[in-house]
Amino acid sequence: MKKLLALGIIAGFSLALAEAFKVAPEKYRSWNHVKSMVIFDQKHPLFNPFSGVHHVYVNDKGLETIKKDGKRVFPDGTVIAIVFYEHVLDNGAYVEGAKRIEAFMVKDSKKYKATDGWGYYGYDGKGNKLVKDMAKDCHACHAQVKDKDFVFSVWTK
């Protein structure tokens, strides 16, 4: 009984850690900048909910893989950070407004087996958790780019 209780506590603690995965901005902003883009028009299929200015970063573990064209497989330990800001028109240029979303993709093929090795985490501009079900909320859409190991972003050349 004690063993079962201990396993339950460990499993619960592990789940709590997984649900709270987050990287501080001062850390991911020093990672490798993959690309930036602005979704500003409702014609874009991701306008709702992802309109605005996006910045994408990858840690060193995933850098060489994200640079590849064609089929790719990211190594375990890869973390991708995507930050979404409101887009504000300022004197003829779109600039960042308020932070809307911080999102993270974490590659761990054992831990996230149900979502093909990826953990998905998202927080609104106030830090509230957005992702309730990784498979439904994120992975179902990312399945469109299975040949790119479920990562939409490509290296800006």
- What integer pLDDT is reported at residue 29 of this predicted model? 93
Domain ranges in the chain? 23-148
Domain 23-148 falls under CATH 3.50.70.20: yes
Low pLDDT (below 50) residues in the chain: 1-18
Mean pLDDT of all residues belonging to the chain: 87
Give CA–CA dist 52/38, Å, rounded: 5
Q: Is 89 exposed, middle or buried (0-12, 13-18, 19+ CB in 10 A)?
A: exposed
pLDDT tens sequence across 51-74? 999 999 999 999 999 999 889 999
Query: What letter does residue 135 receive in the DSSP assignment?
Result: I
Largest separation between any pair of C-alpha atoms in the chain: 67
- What integer pLDDT is reported at residue 19 of this predicted model? 56
Helix (H) or strand (E) holding 32: strand 32-39
Give 87-95's long-range contacts (Cβ < 8 A, gap of 24+). Answer: 87/38, 87/39, 87/40, 87/51, 87/52, 87/53, 94/38, 94/40, 94/53, 95/53
> pTM for this one?
0.84
Give CA–CA dist 4/8, Å, rounded: 6
Give CA–CA dist 126/102, Å, rounded: 10
